[in-house]
Amino acid sequence: MQVWEPSTRALTSAAKDVAVLLRGKNYLRDQKAFMAHLRADALRHTAWTSCVVVVFDGLFRRNPDEDKATDNALITHAIVPWCESFGRAVTYVTITRMLEAYCVESLPLRLAGKLMKNLYTSSLRKMIRYQDKALVAKLMLKTTARASLLTHLAIFLVEQVYLLAGNPTLVDVTRASVKNAHRCVLAIAGASLGAAVGSLIEPGRGTLIGAMICEDLFTSDHLSNHIFFHGERHLDFAAKRL
């Protein structure tokens, strides 16, 4: 008679669940739902914000000489840019959730939890624990850097795929890859600094606003990133669980 044996993945998941019950602390309480960004309301929000990106680019960033080089301006300057912006925004979140799921399965629970912290509730928990805004701001520097790592790694990976899909030369790939990596590092640093400054003013709401403003400042060349950042921070604010 054949004896059924559970898979390694099933055993790992079961061990993690038992560890949570035994230790009495859920390290993954800030983890976001995997498919939440594909709900109808979330997709509607992404679609509308993608329209804002297209309008902004059309008003402030498009070269006027491009109008003379195309016969169908609607497709070139509206439909195609909207599809690119919408696709990027959805893909960013999908890759981030995949990275989070991989970390949950492959890393210790405590470490995985640190990579997907909710900045809003994390700063409030620290404030309740220490009652010192300066200390909370100092701690949020590291917390935000860790919590932003998967987010910006996902953006870097997606941008690399978009880059390679254009069949560029080696020089172009190198230059763009360095730029993407530089943007990734700056965005993590900016989010950490903004969260720390915001925590000095008001832990919780100030933490989120500071992180968003600095992420915008350090990634101002790509508005699709802003859709993603603001969506992620909005989810942090919406999940008000201490």
What does the pLDDT look like over 155-182, one tens digit per residue? 899 889 988 888 888 898 899 899 889 8
Identify which has the larger pLDDT, 222 or 142: 142
- Locate tokens 């530089």: which residue? 182
Mean predicted confidence (pLDDT) in 218-227: 60
pLDDT at position 20 over 90 = no
Q: Which of 86-90, 187-191, 233-237 is least confident?
A: 233-237
Dihedral sign, Cα of residue 94, residue 97, residue 103, residue 105: negative
pLDDT at position 226 over 60 = no
Instruction: Give CA 52 to chain center in angstroms.
Output: 19
* ∠ CA 189-194-199, rounded to 5°: 130
Identify which has the larger pLDDT, 237 or 48: 48
Query: What pLDDT shows up at residue 227?
Result: 56
Question: Which residue ranges make up each domain of the chain?
Answer: 30-238
pLDDT at position 95 over 70 = yes
DSSP for residue 87:
H
DSSP for residue 4:
P
In this structure, are residues 109 and 28 in contact, taking their beta carbons and an 8 Å threshold?
Answer: yes
Query: What pLDDT shows up at residue 145?
Result: 93
pLDDT at position 38 over 90 = no
pLDDT at position 241 over 70 = no
